[in-house]
Amino acid sequence: MKAIPLSITCLLALAGCQTVPDRLPQAEPAPAAACYFPTGQSSPDETLSVLTESIDVLEAWGFSLETTDTELGLVSASRERELIGYYDRYDYDYGYGSGFRLFGGFGIGRSVGIGVGGAFGPGFGQQPVEVERVSLLARDGHLRISRNIRRFDHLGDLRESYSASNDDFCGRFQKAFSSSVTPQGAS
């Protein structure tokens, strides 16, 4: 018998350690129960009016419409705001912290030299931003809300991302939506 090289043996041993995830990725935390509520309107024309009223509520709250698909009953909108004072206090590589740097050095060779320098500034790039995105699905007389928030640092790198489909937002949306929809037969 020929000897199996050690590298192939190690490769086979490591291949046996590979596992499959126990579940598919899910929104963490799960959307609140208030994010799925009945609208009482199920015909295609009524679904269009639900989408129109939903868009009116979102635009009143400062969201910009991104995409709509009336056949699917889907609306997607987002809003962006600057985050003043959002930084990682221990991330000194990009100029965070106090904003002032003092540096210097001393060297001895054929001659003696001393140097001192300073710098002041908050870093470079853009202002940190928070992007909030909301998607609405109107189908079968119900409205489903999905919301997520992403925070980007001054370099445009993603720092935080989480699902924000909570009772507070969905409850406020449901209240604003039901107050903007006039009952059938009322003028």
Please give the pLDDT value at position 102. 54
Question: Which helix (H) or strand (E) is 13 found in, with range?
Answer: helix 6-15
Question: pLDDT per residue over 131-170, tens digit each?
Answer: 999 999 998 888 999 999 999 887 788 888 888 889 999 9
CA angle (134 as vertex; 175, 156 as ends), nearest 5: 140
pLDDT range class, residue 185, cuts 50, 70, 90: very low
CA distance 85 to 160: 15
Residue 142, class by beta-carbon neighbours within 10 Å (0-12 exposed, 13-18 middle, 19+ buried)? Answer: middle
Backbone φ, ψ for residue 81 (5° rounding): -140, 150
pLDDT digits (tens, 9 = 90+) for 55-75: 999 999 999 999 999 888 899
- Stated as kind and residue range, the H or E segment containing 163 is strand 158-163
